Amino acid sequence: MKKLEYYKMMLDGTPCGICHVALDEKLTILYANQSYYQIYGYTAENAEAQGFTNAKFILPEDDYQSIMDTIQCHIRRKDRYFQLEFRAIHSSRKLMWLLVQCAYDPDRPGSMLCVLLDIADRKQMEDQIRMSMQESKIAFQLTDKMMYIYEPAARRLKQPKSAADEFGLPPVMDDVPYSVLRTGAIDEACVNDYVAFYESIIRGEKSGHSVVKKRRRDGSFGWYEAKYASIFDECGMVKRAVISCEDITEQREKELSYQKWSNYFKAREGKTIGVYEYNLTKNLYDDTKGDAPPDYLRSLKTYTGTVRYIAEHFVHERDLEKFTKFFDRDSLLVRYYNGQTTGVLDYLRKRRDGEFFWVRAVILLLADPYSSDVRLFMMTQDIDQDKRMELKLRSQMEHDGMTGLLNRETFIARVSEILGASAPSKRHALIMLDIDEFKRHNDQYGHPYGDQVIRETARFIYGVLRKTDLCGRMGGDEFMVFLNDISSEEEMLPRIEMLCRLLRRSDDARGEITCSMGVVFYPRDGRTFQELYQKADTALYDVKRTGRGNYRIYSFDLKGEGEEGDASISGTGPDTPTATCPPAS
């Protein structure tokens, strides 16, 4: 008994959990020392009262069967010693990780002896290592770099499958660098640099760098930059090197592209109004390249200062907004980073004699090959004669000269083409509108004012259109709007009302300007332009007859000019309220 007490005292003082469990369905505890209970947050005295009389008590229900299957597998094989890792439930209800060394005697098959260690710290460290490795892997995946492992003692190179496939090489190669050279994958001019890179690893250098030209499997060549960092053992011997390799062919192409375009613009110095180069990132003018600037620009060293000065002194008022927007530095940088590297702008510029002429600004955005800066080439050409002829022909062919909108013929042709190709399931809207009492405004305040009203009306209409919509001036003060591919008739009403409000404006000296609109829908009101036009005209007439400054949606009970009909306003159904446009706020 004294010996038993002595050994019990020794076991209770052992800094690890020891237990003897029956190999029954619950793993009933036959004996356990104090440390065993303490691991789970219990004591030998209170464990039984709380139901902790078997190992199943502290095992997660989802894990229990898997653990029992593993134990039974070892027992069937009559393994005397085996090891388990499993999760357990602490008295605080937190999950913990345990390592269990098991001893089983096949001659006494009813039980086994277990020694338990809390391995939460180890598991945490494993998770940290695993996460760190995953982070490193993801970091490489999110870049264009490839990661290699080189073992200098064996001269063995391990490379990712994607890299091996790219160059037609096996993923693992011995006798590197010489085995790679024998494949012909390295350009002859770079052989010495390639060998020196690996020899520096073998010598035990901490880090290194090299740029070589390599042949890909498809026969093309590319430039690759490689860097390495060596990993040493406790004796200071290099065990392996981690190599990152990056395709820098694009960098070389940038250099060639930069040189090409630099030479192109340079060849036109003196043949244009001006050729200039700017560092757009640093907002600086490069006075070492391009034409010598005129006297009034020589003191302006920044790009934004130059653009502002030109805008204020030389750009026609009507082109000022598009000029400023086109040359906006931030917008150009955004354009470059979105992959748009070229741009052309035609605008009216003032000559020394005060006359305006058409010029074309051609810009090219390129990466500085030796930094991360973005550079801007800008060339300005005199295109006045060609541009005026082009505008004249285009205006005659398609556009209304006063408003810039489509002329009548072009508008009808384009709408008819869309309607002809539209399936019955498509929905479109056609709006006919004119300026209320336009003749009175024109006669009372003069034709310039009348022209201004027409242009303003056109601008307001155009401002609410989508890219797929069409707008035309049909003649005089009559306009038409085609809303292409709408979702539903009901959802168009807010847009129509908004347009109606926009077209209502006041002039303190000349009174209020309003417009009236007739609205029809395809295919409900017709499938051809002529059908829709006639019904839109009927709806417009009803607005004029019952009050101006509003809109009407066509319905069958409306009558055209000279016809009798129901004067009630109708939209898409008999219960539609009067379509009165509220005044603009």
Give the chain's length: 585
Asked if omega into 294 is within 30° of 0 (cis), the reply is: no
**Strand partners for 507:** 511
Q: What is the mean pLDDT of residues 491-507?
A: 89
Q: Which residues contact 402 (CB under 8 A, 6 or more apart)?
A: 451, 454, 455, 458, 473
Domain 141-247, CATH: 3.30.450.20
- Label residue 137 by pLDDT band (50, 70, 90): low
Cα dihedral 422, 423, 429, 430 in deg (nearest 10): 40
pLDDT above 80 (res 558): no
Above 60 in pLDDT, residue 575? no
Give the sign of the dihedral formed by CA 483, CA 486, CA 489, CA 490: negative
What pLDDT, in 10s, does the model give residues 518-542? 999 999 999 999 999 999 999 999 9
In this structure, the strands spanning 374-382 and 356-367 are antiparallel
Phi, psi of 241 (to 5 degrees): -130, 140
Judged on CB neighbours under 10 Å (0-12, 13-18, 19+), 304 is middle
CA dihedral 200, 205, 208, 210 (to 10 degrees): 0
Q: Which CATH architecture has domain 399-553?
A: 2-Layer Sandwich (3.30)
What does each C-alpha distance from 191 to 170, 246, 354, 492, 546 come to in angstroms?
20, 18, 65, 70, 90
2-123, what's its fold? Beta-Lactamase (3.30.450)
pLDDT-based confidence at residue 367 (cuts at 50, 70, 90): confident
pTM of the prediction?
A: 0.36
Residue with tokens 């970091």: 139
Q: Is residue 568's pLDDT more than 60?
A: no
E strand map for 410-510: 428-435, 470-475, 478-483, 505-507
> What residues does CATH 3.30.70.270 cover in the chain?
399-553
- pLDDT, average across residues 287-311: 79
What per-residue confidence (pLDDT) applies to 557?
82
Q: How far apart are CA 318 and CA 315, in angstroms?
A: 8
pLDDT in tens, 325-365: 999 999 999 999 999 989 999 999 998 888 999 999 999 89
List, by residue range, all CATH 3.30.450.20 domains of the chain: 2-123, 141-247, 255-389
Q: Give me the residues paired with residue 215 across strands.
A: 221
- pLDDT band for 179, please (50, 70, 90 cuts): very high
pLDDT score for 292: 67
**Nearest by Cα to 244 from 170, 141, 319, 347:** 141
Burial class (CB in 10 A: 0-12, 13-18, 19+), 261: middle
At 156 the pLDDT is 95
Q: What is the pLDDT of residues 441-465, one digit of tens each?
A: 888 889 899 999 999 999 999 988 9
> What would the two tokens of residue 446 be?
């003069």
> What mean pLDDT comes out for the span 377-398?
84
The share of the chain scoring above pLDDT 90, in percent, equals: 55
Instruction: Give CA angle at 246 (240, 247), nearest 5°.
Output: 145
| CATH code of the domain occupying 255-389 | 3.30.450.20
